[in-house]
Structure formats: C-alpha cells, structure tokens
A = this chain, B = another copy of it.
Amino acid sequence: MTYCVGLKTQHGLVFMSDTRTNAGVDNISTFRKMHCWQEPDDRVLVLLSAGNLATTQAVVSLLDERTKAPDERTPSMLETPSMYQAARLVGDTVKEVIRQSAPAGQSADAFGASFILGGQIRGMEPRLFLIYPEGNFIEVSADTPFFQIGETKYGKPILVRAFDTAMKLEETVKLLLVSFDSTLKSNLSVGLPLDLLFYENDTFRIGYEKRIEADDPYLREISEGWSDALKTAFKSLPDFTR
C-alpha cells in the first residue's frame, strides 16, 4: 500500500508521501513515490504515485524520458502549455502503460495506479489534480482542497476536521504528520521515511524539500504529543450519563 496527500492552501501546495512498497507483508521495500520536474522560473510539477509499482515506475520513466531526450520532448512535462495538459499527459501515459501490461482480454485491475499531480506554470494559477487508473482526472475545489491516494481512511478524519486553506505551510506539515502518524500506526504497508515538499505560489521553484526519517525529532514530538493531546481533548468532553 501507500499513503500520499496533496494539499492546496492559499499560500501554495504541500505534498507528503510514504516510501513503503510491498508484495505481501514479508516482502517490503523502500521506493520514493514523490517525483518532481522543474524548470526554474517557468514551472514546478510534483507527482505522487500509489498502486502497482511496475506501473508507477513505468509512468514516471516515460514522463522522465520525454523530459530528457530533446528530440522526443513533445509532449513533455517541461513543455506542456498548462497544468491541465500536464494532467492529460500523465493520464494518457497511465492508460498506455496499463494497456501494455494487462494480458489481452484480462482485467487490468491488478496493474492499476493513481496519481496526485500539482504545480504551477508561469502565467497561470497553481493547480492540483487526482488522476485515476483509467487516465481521467479531477481537480481540487474550495469544498475539497486536498487529495489522498493509497490507504486514505485512517488519516482522513483529522484532515476533514482540521484542514483550513488559510493555514501557513508550516502548520500544514504538522497536520500531515498527524494524519500520517495515525496511518503508520494502523497499516503496516505504509512506512517511514516520509517525503515532504512545499511549493509557494508564484515562486516557480521548489520551496522546501525534506526526507523525514524514523528518528526525526519533530516527527517524534508530533507522534507522542498527539497521543497526549488527543487524550486531553477526550477528557475535556463530558461523560455519558444514564
């Protein structure tokens, strides 16, 4: 499994992803699920991936090759005229990879993968998309200003209750770590380290990037502090009376 979140705030975009991949609980590995393309002062694109690892790696490799080989740069993540076109490019690449992987006449479900794509291209607004295994996609709205992929359930209640698009980027990291910590404690197939990335609106370069390891002091502070804060919050509510 996997857990990845992309948030859109008034200040920018925030991405977090875990790094565990598994084929059964006895076969786990660490792979980066956050991929980034940037052309400083022109664009930043960040892609988070969940699902079949062969599919997600193939999609990223194809997108990457297209950004690297000058002759084959069209279509390219570094040249799409808009974020919408970049989302279409990812969607088309996913469909192509899944079609090639699935044996003729068989279900492609096992090869499925989903993606969160966010970023900004000069002259346009920052945008955040969720791309389905079928290659189609949706965009965040004011009502739902975040996307999750992978093991989304354990970490969702805190996002729904506490996320606010006016949050500072530093506060969103705290929120994401609480959400990831609940997920890490409940599903073994989501694992440390975590990758974190901020993009601040209209900067057209990655604002901040960090790999958060198991011994990260801030992660420990949040994980332990949240258990205590939750207990205090719980005690503050009135008990049931018969």
Q: Say yes or no for A140: interface residue by CB 8 A criterion.
A: no
B residues in contact with A221, CB < 8 Å = 237-238
Nearest CB of B to A156, in Å: 6
Which A residues are within 8 Å of any B CB, using their own CB? 153-154, 156-158, 160-162, 168, 170-171, 173-175, 177-178, 182, 185-186, 208, 218, 221-222, 225-227, 229-234, 236-242
B residues in contact with A231, CB < 8 Å = 161-162
A222 to B222, CA, bound (A): 24
A186 and B157 contacting across the interface, CB-CB below 8 Å:
yes
Interface residue from B161, B234, B241 paired with A175 (Cβ < 8 Å) = B234
Closest 10 interchain pairs by CB? A153-B153, A229-B233, A173-B240, A233-B233, A157-B182, A170-B239, A170-B240, A225-B237, A162-B234, A229-B236
A156 and B154 contacting across the interface, CB-CB below 8 Å:
yes
B residues in contact with A160, CB < 8 Å = 185-186
With A153-B153, A170-B242, A229-B233 already in contact, 18 other A-B pairs whose C-beta atoms are closer than 8 Å? A153-B186, A161-B230, A161-B231, A162-B230, A170-B240, A171-B240, A174-B234, A174-B239, A175-B234, A178-B234, A218-B240, A218-B241, A221-B237, A225-B238, A226-B233, A226-B237, A229-B237, A232-B236
B residues in contact with A174, CB < 8 Å = 234, 237-240
Most buried by B among A218, A221, A226, A239: A239
B residues in contact with A234, CB < 8 Å = 158, 162, 174-175, 178, 229
Chosen A-B contacts, 8 in total, with CB atoms closer than 8 Å, are A153-B186, A158-B230, A161-B230, A168-B239, A174-B239, A225-B236, A229-B233, A229-B234
A39 to B239, CA, bound (A): 30
A242 and B186 contacting across the interface, CB-CB below 8 Å:
no
A30 to B227, CA, bound (A): 35
B157 and A185 contacting across the interface, CB-CB below 8 Å:
yes
A240 to B219, CA, bound (A): 9
Nearest CB of B to A125, in Å: 25
B239 and A171 contacting across the interface, CB-CB below 8 Å:
yes
Considering only CB atoms, which chain B residue lies closest to A236 in the complex? B229
A170 and B230 contacting across the interface, CB-CB below 8 Å:
no
A242 to B168, CA, bound (A): 12
Interface residue from B154, B173, B208 paired with A154 (Cβ < 8 Å) = B154
